[in-house]
Chains A and B, each alone.
Chain A
Amino acid sequence: MLQFPKWKIVMVLLVALCGAIWAAPNLLPRETTDRMPSWWQPVSLGLDLQGGSYLLLEVDTAYIKREHLSGMVEALRATLRKEKVRYSELGSSQDNVKVRISDEAERERVRPELRKIDPEALMDVSSDGMFVFTYSEQATAKRINQAVEQSIGIVRRRVDELGTREPSIQRQGADRIIVQLPGVKNPEHIKSLLGKTAKLTFHLVDDTASPEDAARGRIPPGSMLLPSAESGRGQPIQYVVRKRVEVGGDLLTDSQATFQNGQPVVSFRFSVAGGKRFGDTTSANAGKMLAIVLDEKVISAPRINEPILGGSGIISGSFTVQDANDLALLLRAGALPAPLQVLEERTVGPDLGADSIQAGAIASGVGLITVIVFMVLIYGTLGLLANVALVLNLVILLALMSVLGATLTLPGIAGIVLTMGMAVDANVLIYERMREEQKAGRGLISTVQVAFERAFGTILDANLTTLAAAALLFQFGSGPVRGFAVTLSLGLLSSMFTAIMVTRLMVGTWIRVRRPKTLPL
């Protein structure tokens, strides 16, 4: 019992040393740790401690499905017109697209053409000439998955453009995105930017129908009625524009906010392909009006005075400087494939975070001191040894959290405080066992040996059951509560090490050096 293998002593000392090294950055000021390597950093603080904003976004998957089906409808319409086939009942429902071609000869003629439109679609033709296009679950899931991935990329670009410090953007589940913005105190601006799809398209204005006619339901086929983004100041409230997209915002390469005649405007530049299409459109339609449409609203509809061949242009509207900056940012970052909705928001101001850290630190300090005093009062010298193990336990816990990159939250601090109370339980179990064995008349060495052996099983069982509860908390908890589960679990694991290995080493060494006749219990 009193002789330990060399490797055990070395291991305990090594663990203690590593713990001290990795826990050390937590004591240093931030300016110092910022310059230290990434493997030697203090524990990262959750948003509830450092202040910041947590947003849970959801991608509108129904919109993606709908968009895709209506795209299919337009593709069918174009093909059938090109082939000059008579059709009826073309339209989409919840999960399929239908069109009826009554003439059997025509039906057979275009069948291969229709099948080619979308290789992912399953085509079914009934005997009365109804074509039904459906999509398999996998195809739909794949499309949604792509849209979510694409959304994450665009959210990241938009957030990065705002220059937020160390934002974290993660996917959660099938259609959710978690955005964490440390240091952001008021997320309203970011929320409004993320809430915009920013789909920019250029359409020709249909001058064969006035908005008044269209409002009364007389919309020419192939055109649509769109509201104006900004009413008043002599601008019409609605526009009738062609459905056909002349050029899309996906062909933009750059966009900047700038000034024209003292007014904030947004300049843009097309890619080579986009520039050519823009040039062609403006050449062929000189004198007509070109509507600039953002998210189904017409920003402005300037008259095309001359062909624009340089591949760049300017969007003017009644913008404030902020509006122009935002629009330029959105155009640079690209359009979202589907609208995003904020499901959950949690924002903590930096002051409250700092207050929480202070309260947590004081509570931990006072908790630690009372436990230390209590253990010395109850167990004397052995209590002192238990306290060394307790402090080492905290050091190892802090080091583990720093190394593993675990996040410390306010409930996490509560977990640490609670761990202190529960960590000494292992020592109490061992010492109480020693007391019993000594009373039963065992010799000193045998008492210590038996106490450690018997207490070990109890400690293991007791801690593993608590760990089971903590693991489930981690699995089902979210955010700060997860932080609690992490600190509690790591604390329990390191307390098993310190109570069993470290305390044993210390008690053994102490007996060898001081050679007491009985244990002071």
Chain B
Amino acid sequence: MSFYGNFIAHTPKFDFVGKRIPAFILTAALIIGTFVSIATKGFNFGIDFAGGILIEVQATDGPANIAKMRDQLGNLSLGEVSLQQFGESGRDVMVRVQKQDGDEKAQMAALAKVKETLGSGYDYRRVEIVGPKVGDELKRDGVLAVALSVLAIAAYVWFRFEWQFGVGALIATFHDVILTFGFFSVTGMEFNLTSVAAILTIAGYSINDTVVIYDRVRENLRKYKSLSIYELLNLAVNETLARTFLTVATVFLTVVSLLVLGGEVLHGFAASLLWGLVVGTFSSMYVALPVLIYFNLRVGKDREEDEAAAQAAP
């Protein structure tokens, strides 16, 4: 017997469903908090959505003089220019210039101005310009992708299970998506195309988790006809708890290695995935599962089976 086998010798008997009311209150509070944050603070949109210019420069000799750079670029009347030093050597600086009024040409002109002002002594490691037209399209595509994937997930679950499960999956996935939006709003972390990828990954991961538990609920519905729904749901989540723990652990390990070692570009992505891992696991056990108690799971199934039995009888 392995180390872990000894550790988890018995199926746990936690009462997940019984704690649903505090869980729902917590969920509601978090969702309200998210909406308040979005309404008051909004998002820190990256240039993918807001348009504008992002330049990553590396000073060629020694640490960058960020105060001097800020001075130089601040006087160009390009609107908001933000500078951020990062990395260990202090040579890397991320420069963000807000979207310029006017069309695409105005953005290009602003870039030329920045390059000219900074002059030599910097290596341009990354330059991104998104014009106003593309920014709007990317925003639209992002919203569409998130909305459609939530619906597609719910539709698939509805198709494979009963409608009650589809509704549960829809609620849980919405919950994860909204709270991840909240994460970006509250932390003020840059919201860009990669963030949309993170949200969809979280939705996908969380539904994965939910489906495993739902699958067990469905199986137990057939197996234990006399068990109350309350006990049945608790049994399903407890039986799959070991798996949930192990999978969360492996995904956690890989996401942490991305967060620590993946570099500047993936940092935000990994951080939001870590949040999503927590939210997604929570929603599978405390949102997607307990909501099933409010739908009469047995009625449809039993009637079908009764009818089948009636037909089979002579």
Contact = CB atoms under 8 A, between A and B. Distances in A.
B81 interface: no
A361 B131 CA distance: 33
B270 A468 contact: no
A56 interface: yes
Given A348-B126, A428-B247, A484-B197, A370 B1 contact: no
B283 to A, nearest CB: 14
Nearest to B115: A188
Contacts of B205: 422, 466
A462 B208 contact: yes
Contact of B134 (A56, A370, A484): A56
Nearest to B51: A344
A466 B266 contact: no
Nearest to B263: A359
A458 B246 contact: no
Interface in A277-295: none
A410 B246 contact: no
The B interface, classified by DSSP as helix, strand, loop or mixed, is: helix
Nearest to B169: A465
Given A367-B254, A457-B215, A462-B212, A469 B149 contact: yes
A428 B201 contact: no
A58 B131 CA distance: 11
A304 interface: no
A345 interface: yes
In the complex, which of the residues B11, B138, B205, B240 has the most CB atoms of chain A within 10 Å of its own CB atom? B205
Interface in B234-288: 239-240, 242-243, 246-247, 249-255, 257-258, 260-263, 265-266, 269-270, 273
B4 interface: yes
Given A377-B4, A422-B208, A425-B208, A346 B128 contact: yes
A431 B128 CA distance: 47
Interface stretch (B29-37, B152-160, B181-189, B289-297): B152-160
A429 B243 contact: yes
B80 interface: no
Interface residues of B, number: 77
B189 to A, nearest CB: 16
A363 B197 contact: no
Nearest to A48: B265
Interface stretch (B12-20, B66-74, B140-148): B140-148
B251 A458 contact: no
B127 interface: yes
Contact of B207 (A363, A364, A465, A485): A465
B170 interface: no
A347 B133 CA distance: 19
Contact of A343 (B134, B243, B251): B134
Interface in A171-195: 185-186, 188, 191
Contacts of A254: none
Nearest to A429: B243
Contacts of B157: 465
B179 interface: no
Interface string A330-355: 00000000000111111111011001
A491 B189 CA distance: 28
B265 A410 contact: yes
A421 B251 contact: yes
A428 B258 CA distance: 22
A422 B251 contact: yes
A414 B266 contact: yes
B2 A470 contact: no
Interface string B194-219: 10110011011101110110011001
A472 B149 contact: yes
Given A352-B125, A378-B3, A472-B145, A421 B211 contact: no
Interface stretch (A83-91, A162-170, A473-481): A473-481
A360 interface: yes
Nearest to A432: B243
A436 B11 CA distance: 9
Given A462-B211, A472-B148, A520 B127 contact: no
Interface string A408-422: 001101100110111
Nearest to A436: B239
A362 interface: yes
8 smallest beta-carbon distances between A and B, as pairs:
A359-B263, A476-B145, A421-B251, A421-B254, A466-B204, A469-B204, A367-B254, A352-B125
Given A352-B125, A521-B1, 20 more contacts: A58-B104, A342-B108, A343-B134, A352-B56, A360-B266, A363-B258, A366-B261, A367-B257, A367-B258, A375-B250, A380-B2, A413-B266, A418-B254, A422-B205, A428-B246, A465-B204, A466-B207, A468-B156, A469-B153, A469-B204
20 contacts: A343-B134, A347-B126, A349-B124, A349-B126, A360-B262, A378-B3, A379-B4, A413-B262, A418-B255, A421-B250, A421-B255, A425-B243, A425-B247, A465-B204, A470-B204, A473-B200, A476-B144, A478-B138, A520-B2, A521-B1
